[in-house]
Chains A and B, each alone.
Chain A
Amino acid sequence: GAGVSQSPSNKVTEKGKDVELRCDPISGHTALYWYRQSLGQGLEFLIYFQGNSAPDKSGLPSDRFSAERTGGSVSTLTIQRTQQEDSAVYLCASSLGFGDPQHFGDGTRLSIL
């Protein structure tokens, strides 16, 4: 079956611009996670959605980062006023439920010029 799909696969933008990253989880998966992977910081948890509940935003690095999940399915991660330190690979994962194995997409590679 289809896995987790992320788009775009690559995004290059200028410092100060806003970007939107999209994640399509595996159908039927209620839990959705965003992570960031960078050379300096490794893999960091950003935000977690469980069904239609309010998300756990505890990992978001600043108020420039936000995310939503519409209809309990597709999720969008938005970064406003991008900075060079936002350059990283943003990975999305979904799981059947809390604690179940997470399945990852191939990520969006974000480069801020």
Chain B
Amino acid sequence: AQSVTQLGSHVSVSEGALVLLRCNYSSSVPPYLFWYVQYPNQGLQLLLKYTSAATLVKGINGFEAEFKKSETSFHLTKPSAHMSDAAEYFCAVRGSQGNLIFGKGTKLSVKP
């Protein structure tokens, strides 16, 4: 069975600072991993995906994530936070039916 753990339900950074959102996965098969972002009262938008090609994955809005098998991690980073990055971020692993198994989410606040 697959699962995802997101460390930190809330993360606060200053505008211009590094963003680091942590995600660890558990999977008995090579995982397909995703990061989604959710703005208030909206659905989820795909930021990036890992599908066993390059371990460093670049996504939209300047985000990237690195797959580390030895650490079973897929942390999301952005070098410089912008006010518009304030949202909730979800890490997910693909399940056996193609469904997404989500972490609990991390709410990112950006201080001016």
Contact = CB atoms under 8 A, between A and B. Distances in A.
Interface of A is mostly: strand
Q: Which of A58, A91, A104 has the most CB of B within 10 A?
A: A104
A45 B102 CA distance: 9
Question: What is the interface residue range for chain B against chain A?
Answer: 20 to 34
Interface string A44-85: 010010100000101100000000000000000000000000
Given A42-B105, A106-B41, A101 B46 contact: yes
Given A42-B105, A99-B32, A101-B49, A4 B43 contact: yes
Given A91-B44, A105-B43, A43 B98 contact: no
Interface residues of A, number: 24
A87 interface: no
Contacts of A102: 46, 100
B75 interface: no
Contact of A58 (B34, B97, B101, B105): B97
Nearest to B92: A43
A6 to B, nearest CB: 8
A25 to B, nearest CB: 13
B22 interface: no
A45 B90 contact: no
B104 A59 contact: no
B74 to A, nearest CB: 16
Residue among B34, B100, B103 with max Cβ neighbours from chain A (10 Å):
B100
Contact of A99 (B36, B43, B98, B104): B98
Interface of B: 32, 34, 36, 41-46, 49, 90, 94-95, 97-105
